[in-house]
Structure 1
Amino acid sequence: MATASIPSELVGPGHPEWQYLDLMRRIWEEGSERVDRTGIGTRSVFGATLRFDLADGAMPLITTKRVYWKTATREMLWFLTGETNIRPLVLQGVKIWNEWPHARYVNETGDEIVLDDFVQRIADDEDFAERWGDLGPVYGKQWVDWPTYRYRKDGTYEKGDGINQVARVAESLKTSPGSRRHIIEGWNVAELDQMALPPCHKTYQFHVAGGRLNCLLYQRSCDVALGLPFNLWSGALLQRMMAQQVGLEPGEFVWMGGDTHLYLNHEHLITEQLKREPQSDPRLEIVRVPDSIFGYRIEDFIVQGYTPHPPIKAPVAV
């Protein structure tokens, strides 16, 4: 496969987005070519880190292509409800989870319904959505209702109350800010096989220093071209909401990737995006303080100063 050469002089210091572009260039030019689960193939590096200071409303919102931050925000708010069915997202026009239940429906029924028609049926038919729109115990379920079990003396187990990890972290940040246990975890080994997709952005850890709330997000698997721009925004958004709720200033957002990759069929996106330069300094204002982190609405968030390059379309690997 022919490889387009990306001029190294396009990558340099300055705007924080150069970190993202440099990572993209390094993966495409130096990454190990691998056969992956989807069959498409990737170039991959292992272990990557990006750091963004969120002071003064700054956010890691990519400008070298348009990122639909409201879509990513709606997804984050959906996670916080604990919901696992795509219907609430579909009714808001959010498409990012549609391919997985569609593929399951086609595989299990043999009905070759096209994606758009499947999604319309999810929107129109609650019973159909209940049967075919569920993703299993994905992110939100683990975040706000992690299942527990109690061991009985007779050697059996009984189901206990679910754990709301997000609420616990918000409380512990207020009562024990120096703790090293401010963690939200999505990787529930016992339930992975029930999930449409095991969690990629799997572990969030919070850290308090100097009146600022820092957040580290560890992502086991990352599609840098399509997924990472959403993940950066969403992780920093969760940090901003949590900071507001616990009365701290937002600090540094640290992103860490395990298998950090680009899909081989995204070459047109990669080469085009790496010709572009960051061109604005977007800032996020949260205009309301809800009673809890679960009370935010999409209209609470206003982004200013975002003048990105045009979007670049590419297929999602399922």
Structure 2
Amino acid sequence: MAKWDDIYCSLVEQILTEGRRVSNRTGVDTIKLPFAHFTLNVGEEFPILSVKQLFLRQAVLEMLWIYQAQSNDVRWLQERDVHIWDKWEIDENGEWKDEKTGKVLKKFDPSMAHTIGTAYGYVVRKYRLIDRLIDSLKNDPEDRRRVVSLWQDAELDTAVLPSCVWSSEWDVTDGKLNVLVHQRSCDTGLGLPFNVTQYAVLMSMIAQVCGLKVGRLDWSIKDAHIYVDQVEQMKELLRRWKETEPLPAPKLWLNPEITDFYAFDSSRDIKDVRLEGYSHRGKLAMPLTQ
């Protein structure tokens, strides 16, 4: 079985057995651990779950929306049939509303309609985070100040949702690119599998265009939680993990001709990215909490 399956399922089991039930701003309680950490060697094994199906196309496009298109416009995703951020889209009146009650949760300038405000890709573009990262990796590989922070205090009040995966630190050792990712709040059931695969693809792309090998991905989480309406699905996931035969990890293929991060295809079909040999145990649908 892929190492990522073991790490992920062990974390899920720990949350369910040791976690504490708490309330939060969404109105749906969670079971949480205050902190979690794990390490993956992406250069040896690409992390994507096999105990449930993960849709690589949607995961990669959301990542490219943030770091390549550097957009906060939800329509960019919708045009590519990705609807991850629909629940957080500001409407034409500049209002972000509760999807169930219609209550206005936050008010924005109407010019921010169809966006998620000053978050994620907006921050990447404004502060030239990817350009500066690539320049440093290419021209100053020993640099110890490569911090890509999506948490910018000046932008928080005008963001629909402050970044959950908010920071990454990038290191080069022995020609290998290593990344440390920080996540302030982690929807372990839905978000974490997406996020880990996204950053594994991102670091692989950045390594390729910078002439580096892919190394390790370290992940730290503050508030690793499972929503209570996801518990039964998580129990099914654990059953699959314990009672079915292990499946091998797939290989990530990136178009080897791409030498510019901005040249990776970001159309609906992400033609420069694919998985080879991906086997999984099928879908496991879960509610997404706004």
TM-score relative to the length of structure 1: 0.80
| Alpha-carbon distance in 2 for matches of 1:81, 1:112 | 27
Are 2:89 and 2:115, in contact at CA under 8 Å, matched by a contact in 1?
Answer: yes
Q: Per-residue CA shift, 1:144-175, capped at 9, x if unaligned?
A: 212xxxxxxxxxxxxxxxxx111111111122
- Aligned position for 2:190: 226
| Alpha-carbon distance in 1 for matches of 2:23, 2:100 | 29
| Alpha-carbon distance in 2 for matches of 1:213, 1:88 | 29
Does the alignment pair 1:75 with 2:47? Answer: no
Q: Which amino acid aligns with 1:190?
A: A
Alignment of 1:23-172 (within 5 A): 23-56=11-44, 58-79=45-66, 80-101=68-89, 108=95, 132-146=113-127, 164-172=128-136
Are 1:183 and 1:204, in contact at CA under 8 Å, matched by a contact in 2?
Answer: yes
Does the C-alpha gap of structure 1 residues 176 and 110 become closer, same or farther in structure 2, counting only changes over 3 Å?
A: closer
CA RMSD of aligned residues (A): 2.5
Q: Structure 1: which 5+ runs fail to align?
A: 1-12, 116-128, 147-163
| Alpha-carbon distance in 1 for matches of 2:85, 2:73 | 10
Which of the pair has more CA radius of gyration? 1
Does the C-alpha gap of structure 1 residues 136 and 289 become closer, same or farther in structure 2, counting only changes over 3 Å?
A: farther
Does the C-alpha gap of structure 1 residues 40 and 110 become closer, same or farther in structure 2, counting only changes over 3 Å?
A: closer
Q: Per-residue CA shift, 1:265-286, capped at 9, x if unaligned?
A: 1012111000113423111010
| Alpha-carbon distance in 1 for matches of 2:118, 2:94 | 20
SS for the counterpart of 2:232 is helix
- Aligned position for 1:317: 289
SS for the counterpart of 1:299 is coil
Match of 2:160 among 177, 181, 196: 196
- Aligned position for 1:121: none
TM-score relative to the length of structure 2: 0.88
Shift of 1:48: 0.9
- Aligned position for 1:264: 228
Does the C-alpha gap of structure 1 residues 68 and 136 become closer, same or farther in structure 2, counting only changes over 3 Å?
A: same
Are 2:2 and 2:50, in contact at CA under 8 Å, matched by a contact in 1?
Answer: no
Match of 1:300 among 251, 268, 272: 272
Does the C-alpha gap of structure 1 residues 177 and 41 become closer, same or farther in structure 2, counting only changes over 3 Å?
A: same
Q: Structure 2: which 5+ runs fail to align?
A: 103-109
Q: Which amino acid aligns with 1:141?
A: Y
Between the aligned residues of both structures, percent identity stands at 30
| Alpha-carbon distance in 2 for matches of 1:289, 1:48 | 37
Give the length in aligned residue pairs. Answer: 274
| Alpha-carbon distance in 2 for matches of 1:266, 1:109 | 25
Q: Which amino acid aligns with 2:72?
A: T
| Alpha-carbon distance in 2 for matches of 1:21, 1:251 | 23
Q: Which amino acid aligns with 2:202?
A: L
